[in-house]
Structure formats: C-alpha cells, structure tokens
C-alpha cells in the first residue's frame, strides 16, 4: 500500500517507520520539497520511504495521514490540494494545541467543533478517521506495557474507513481499538490528548497510555 503522510515531525516519522516496517511504501510531505528532517528519515528506509511537497504526498497516498501542526492542518490540506483526498481513507492524528509560555498546552478549539471535524469539512469527499492522537508518538508502533496493550480510540463518519484504520491499528500492535462514534467525537479524543499530556507531566513519565478496565 502507498501511504502519504502530511508532516515531517516526530509523529510523521514514527508512523512512517511503522508503515515501512510493515512493508508499505511511505512518502512524508512538507510545505516545501527537500525538507531536511523528512529527507534524513527517508534516507534511513532502504528505499521504502520518499519525500515531497504536501501535494506530491497527497497524490501519492492511497491512504493519507494528517500529521501536521494541529491548527495549521486545514492550511496544509489546502496546500496539498483538496481533490487529492477524494474517496480516500484519511487517518487524522492531529490535535489543535494552543501553546503558552507557561504550563501544558490547551485546546485552541473544542466545545463547538474540533480539529477532526474541521479537517473532515475541508475534505468532504474523503473519509477522515481520528486515530493515534491520544498517546505519545513513542507508543505508536508495537507499544509494550507491563499492564498489557493499551486501548486506542477512533472516531469517524464512515464505517468502511474505520474498519480499514482498525485493521492498520491491529497491524501496528493495538489489539484493542474502541470506535467511539462519528467525527464529532474528536472533541472528546482531542481533550483526551490534553489529559495524556497533563498525566505525563504529573508522573514525569511520557511512557504512558490509556487503558479502560473492564469486568
């Protein structure tokens, strides 16, 4: 499968390495071609990884991942070319973080909309599925915890797209995936990211992930 990942940061590289390890072809996209972080990553993939602009990457991907600065994601989608997303499964890992000089980040939006909903609105013919946004990038691929595998949460409007993303999550080493509803559930999943950050700071440990206990 060809996977186009919009982004050149830790999330894009971590997901890119996971997809490459599973045998997929991956392109990382940036605002300009030749981004040094994306190029360094691609050079270490034995030819499975490549780089390009957001537009090259969106055109390349059969599945597309959104891994850009949360509040800049709709701009990145427009730079990528909205029609390149038509009919495709889009994995949305973004969070609309608002950074301040002090303390942990908060959400720039969240009560009446969410980044997931804004992203879906920007690409109405694509099938956006929120995933990977509720844990740190170091946990994305084959997470190992003494308490067993953590839970991943997904939401989105298209059942077929969620099924595809859940299959991908299983391949990434997430056997327990909870589908919590339509794309508007991004409001809760993006809030959960803030709880994850606050928990990690409270514990001085970023090797943390959520798990629901069941009985």
Ligand X SMILES: NC(=O)c1ccc[n+]([C@@H]2O[C@H](COP(=O)([O-])OP(=O)(O)OC[C@H]3O[C@@H](n4cnc5c(N)ncnc54)[C@H](OP(=O)(O)O)[C@@H]3O)[C@@H](O)[C@H]2O)c1
Site for ligand X, rule CB under 6 A: 7-12, 30-31, 35, 67-70, 72, 75-76, 93-95, 97, 132-133, 136-137
**65 vs 89, which CB is nearer to ligand X?**
65
Nearer to ligand X, 73 or 88 (CB): 73
- Pairing state of beta strands 89-92 and 25-30? unpaired
Closer by beta carbon to ligand X, 87 or else 130: 130
β-strand pairing of 89-92 with 63-66: parallel
Q: Which is nearer to ligand X, 75 or 184 (CB)?
A: 75
Taking the complex as a whole, the smallest distance from the CB of residue 205 to ligand X amounts, in Å, to 14
Cβ nearer to ligand X, comparing 18 with 136: 136
Least distance from C-beta 66 to ligand X, angstroms? 8
Q: CB of 75: closest distance to ligand X in angstroms?
A: 4
- Closest CB 167 distance from ligand X, rounded Å: 20
Map tokens 């390149």 to a residue: 84
Residue nearest to ligand X (CB): 9
CB of 83 to ligand X, least distance (A): 18
């Amino acid at each position: 499968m060809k996977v186009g990942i919009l982004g050149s940061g830790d999330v894009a590289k971590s997901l890119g390495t996971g997809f490459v390890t599973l045998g997929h072809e991956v392109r990382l996209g940036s605002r300009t071609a030749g981004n040094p972080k994306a190029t360094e990553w691609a050079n270490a993939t034995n030819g499975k990884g490549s780089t390009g602009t957001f537009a090259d990457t969106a055109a390349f991907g059969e599945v597309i991942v959104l891994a850009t600065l949360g509040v800049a994601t709709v701009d990145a989608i427009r730079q990528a070319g909205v029609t390149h997303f038509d009919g495709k499964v889009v994995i949305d890992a973004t969070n609309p973080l608002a950074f301040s000089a002090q303390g942990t980040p908060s959400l720039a939006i969240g009560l009446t909309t969410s980044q997931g909903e804004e992203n879906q609105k920007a690409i109405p013919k694509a099938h956006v599925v929120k995933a990977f946004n509720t844990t740190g990038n170091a946990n994305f691929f084959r997470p190992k915890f003494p308490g067993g595998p953590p839970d991943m949460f997904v939401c989105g409007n298209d059942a077929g797209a969620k099924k595809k993303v859940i299959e991908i999550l299983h391949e990434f080493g997430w056997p327990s995936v909870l589908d919590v509803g339509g794309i508007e559930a991004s409001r809760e999943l993006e809030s959960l990211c803030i709880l994850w950050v606050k928990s990690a700071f409270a514990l001085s440990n970023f090797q943390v992930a959520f798990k629901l206990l069941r009985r």
